């Protein structure tokens, strides 16, 4: 329960400053370093966006070419990390695989903390390049005992790398672009829960692996990144749009939360949703299966009519990812692959102007009281 002076869930609290993105401020929708998300999704690639977030400006063509080469050269996994991935059970959640992989890489290639300025992008780039390798190495080892080569040399981009490693061959260009756009949309979002976690960890002067591991843990929950997985479970259970309408009305009558709807900051729409919805429609047409898309559209209509709530990025991402052939449990890991750019940029920004993040709480407990000796305690007081 909140009390005067506190804000439940820190809603509306300004907890710091950033130059990385605006979420609905100053009449803008979402911008990354001043560039509108609509323009970035239309004209840029994920690597351009990662460069922009980390280094501050859009890269020239030669800088971008070198960046592709650099990331490609960082994709291989050290042997002890492969061994750890082999030990993680096949039943583990893929987010736990990434959390563990990140932590292990931090043991093998620790960060000099704080790093020299000239080296500050080394670990962000390494994490961007290796997260897909970690997940796909674990995937194939447990699926059919293969120890795959994760360098994937024919494929220069992160989106291409992910689909290639998952499918075992280069993906078609339209699918690579669909995933690339999705990675752009997921790359950065101001002081969301996982980014704020990364900044809190960084504010203690801890290393970037600790910040990223904590951020992955935060992202896993269904109120945050896990919503794309939960949204797919919801959408895929309905056989038709009419079936979905009945099902959602039932869920709303039970006061259930509908995953993939609502947002802490946006009030009328999530600008990212409009973009990914177009891709979800296009991919549904390509695979010749309209069920998930028409179910999604009907759920959106019911939620607007009944609750005045709008879809967030996770809702239409769910069917788009499915039509790209991505297993449901890998939806939230895709978010990690992308948001690593935003998290890392926030870590560097926090370090550049650091002060320990340590808020205070309104105490709402017992008034000060004398210690109660053992012989005066009653059974009913002792039980939890
Ligand atoms: N389904 C049904 N009702 C919802 C809802 C949803 N997805 N999102 C919000 N609401 C309702 C709440 O029940 C609440 O109603 P009440 O005032 O009658 O109790 C009201 O809207 C405010 O919601 P609240 O959860 O307090 O807002 P918040 O700012 O704390 O939470 C989210 C924001 C994103 C966590 C919330 O909208 C949510 O849980 N959405 C589903 C998970 C999701 O998609 N997460 C990804 C976010 S990008």
pLDDT digits (tens, 9 = 90+) for 321-379: 999 999 999 999 999 999 999 999 999 999 999 999 999 999 999 999 999 999 999 98
Give me 175's structure tokens: 């699918």
- Active-site entry in 189, 263, 322, 323: 263
Give me the percent of the chain exceeding a pLDDT of 90. Answer: 93
| All CATH 1.10.230.10 domain ranges in the chain, comma separated | 228-323
CATH of 19-220+339-352, one of 3.30.470.30, 3.40.50.300, 1.10.357.10, 1.10.580.10: 1.10.580.10
Mutation test residue for ligand 1: of 262, 306, 309, 310, the one with most atoms within 8 Å of CB = 262
| All CATH 1.10.580.10 domain ranges in the chain, comma separated | 19-220+339-352
> Which among 191, 181, 149, 105 has a CA at the least distance from the CA of 334?
181
What spacing in Å lies between the alpha carbon of 22 and ligand 1's midpoint? 21
Interior angle at CA 178, CA 192 and CA 20, nearest 5? 30
Please state, in angstroms and rounded to a whole number, the distance separating the CA atoms of residues 363 and 361. 6
User: Is pLDDT of 109 > 70?
Assistant: yes
User: Is pLDDT of 3 > 60?
Assistant: no
> Which among 188, 140, 148, 167 has a CA at the least distance from the CA of 339?
188
How many helices, marked H, and strands, marked E, lie in the chain?
A: 17, 3
User: Is pLDDT of 26 > 80?
Assistant: no
pTM of the model: 0.95
User: Is pLDDT of 5 > 80?
Assistant: no
Q: What is the pLDDT of residue 384?
A: 60
- With the C-alpha atoms ordered 52, 53, 56, 62, is the resulting torsion angle positive or negative? negative
**Nearest atom, ligand 1, residue 192 CA:** 48
- For residue 90, count other CB atoms closer than 10 A to its CB: 10
Nearest CA to ligand 1 atom 14: 257
Question: What are the backbone angles phi and psi of residue 228, rounded to the nearest 5°?
Answer: -70, -40
Nearest CA to ligand 1 atom 8: 262
pLDDT tens, 70-90? 999 999 999 999 999 999 999
Give me 156's structure tokens: 């220069």
Please state, in angstroms and rounded to a whole number, the distance separating the CA atoms of residues 150 and 184. 22
User: Is pLDDT of 103 > 50?
Assistant: yes
Residues having CB within 6 Å of any atom of ligand 1: 9, 11, 223, 227, 257-264, 307, 309, 312, 314
User: Is pLDDT of 1 > 80?
Assistant: no
Give me 29's structure tokens: 């929708």
270 is annotated as an active-site residue:
no
- Active-site entry in 164, 270, 314, 346: 314
Nearest CA to ligand 1 atom 35: 223
- Name, in order, each residue with C-beta under 8 angstroms of 23's C-beta and a sequence gap of 6 or more: 30, 189, 190, 265, 266
Half-sphere exposure in the Cβ direction for 68 (13 Å, CA): 17
323 is annotated as an active-site residue:
no
CB 315 within 8 A of CB 231: yes
Terminal Cα-to-Cα distance of the chain (whole angstroms): 20
Q: What is the pLDDT of residue 28?
A: 76
Question: What average pLDDT does range 162-174 have in this prediction?
Answer: 96
**Nearest atom, ligand 1, residue 312 CA:** 48
> Which among 250, 268, 273, 259 has a CA at the least distance from the CA of 304?
268
What spacing in Å lies between the alpha carbon of 94 and ligand 1's midpoint? 25
> Which among 75, 359, 345, 332 has a CA at the least distance from the CA of 227?
332
Please state, in angstroms and rounded to a whole number, the distance separating the CA atoms of residues 34 and 86. 43
What spacing in Å lies between the alpha carbon of 109 and ligand 1's midpoint? 40
User: Is pLDDT of 191 > 80?
Assistant: yes
What spacing in Å lies between the alpha carbon of 36 and ligand 1's midpoint? 26
Nearest CA to ligand 1 atom 3: 257
Nearest CA to ligand 1 atom 21: 262
Strands (DSSP E) along the chain, which ranges? 21-23, 30-32, 35-36
Half-sphere exposure in the Cβ direction for 245 (13 Å, CA): 10
Fold of 228-323: Cytochrome p450-Terp; domain 2 (1.10.230)
346 is annotated as an active-site residue:
no
Give the DSSP letter string of 303-326.
HHHHH---B-HHHHHHHHHHHTT-
Burial 199-225 (b: 16+ CB within 10 A, else e): bbbbbeeebbbbbbbbbbebbbebebb
Please state, in angstroms and rounded to a whole number, the distance separating the CA atoms of residues 341 and 187. 6
Instruction: Identify which has the larger pLDDT, 154 or 134.
Output: 134
> Which among 180, 220, 82, 79 has a CA at the least distance from the CA of 139?
82
Q: What is the pLDDT of residue 347?
A: 98
């Amino acid at each position: 329960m909140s009390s005067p002076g506190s804000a439940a869930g820190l809603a509306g609290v300004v907890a710091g400053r950033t130059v990385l993105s605006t979420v609905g401020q100053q009449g803008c929708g979402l911008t990354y370093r001043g560039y509108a998300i609509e323009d970035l999704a239309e004209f840029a690639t994920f690597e351009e966006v990662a460069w922009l977030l980390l280094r501050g400006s859009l890269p020239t063509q030669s800088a971008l070419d070198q960046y592709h080469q650099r990331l490609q050269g960082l994709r291989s996994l050290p042997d002890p990390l492969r061994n750890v991935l082999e030990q993680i059970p096949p039943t583990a959640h893929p987010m736990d695989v990434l959390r563990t992989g990140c932590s292990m890489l931090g043991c093998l290639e620790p960060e000099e903390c704080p790093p020299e300025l000239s080296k500050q992008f080394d670990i962000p780039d390494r994490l961007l390049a290796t997260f897909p390798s970690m997940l796909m190495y674990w995937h194939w080892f447990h699926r059919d005992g293969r120890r795959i080569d994760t360098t994937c040399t024919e494929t220069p981009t992160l989106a291409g790398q992910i689909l290639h490693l998952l499918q075992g061959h280069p993906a078609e260009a339209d699918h690579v672009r669909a995933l690339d756009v999705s990675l752009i949309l997921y790359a950065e979002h101001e002081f969301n829960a996982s980014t704020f976690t990364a900044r809190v960890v960084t504010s203690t002067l801890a290393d970037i692996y600790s910040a990223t591991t904590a951020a992955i843990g935060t992202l896993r929950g269904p109120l945050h990144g896990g919503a794309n997985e939960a949204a797919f479970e919801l959408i895929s259970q309905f056989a038709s749009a009419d079936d979905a309408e009945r099902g959602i009305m039932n869920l709303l009558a039970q006061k259930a939360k509908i995953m993939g709807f609502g947002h802490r900051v946006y009030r009328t729409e999530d600008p990212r949703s409009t973009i990914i919805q177009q891709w979800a429609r296009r991919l549904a047409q390509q695979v010749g299966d309209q069920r998930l898309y028409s179910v999604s559209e009907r759920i959106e209509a019911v939620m607007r009519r009944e609750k005045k709530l709008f879809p967030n990025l996770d809702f239409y991402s769910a069917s788009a990812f499915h039509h790209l052939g991505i297993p449901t449990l890998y939806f939230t890991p895709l978010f990690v692959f992308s948001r690593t750019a935003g998290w890392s940029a926030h870590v560097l920004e926090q370090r550049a102007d650091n002060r320990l993040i340590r808020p205070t709480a309104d105490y709402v407990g017992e008034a000060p009281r004398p210690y109660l000796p053992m012989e005066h305690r009653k059974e009913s007081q002792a039980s939890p």
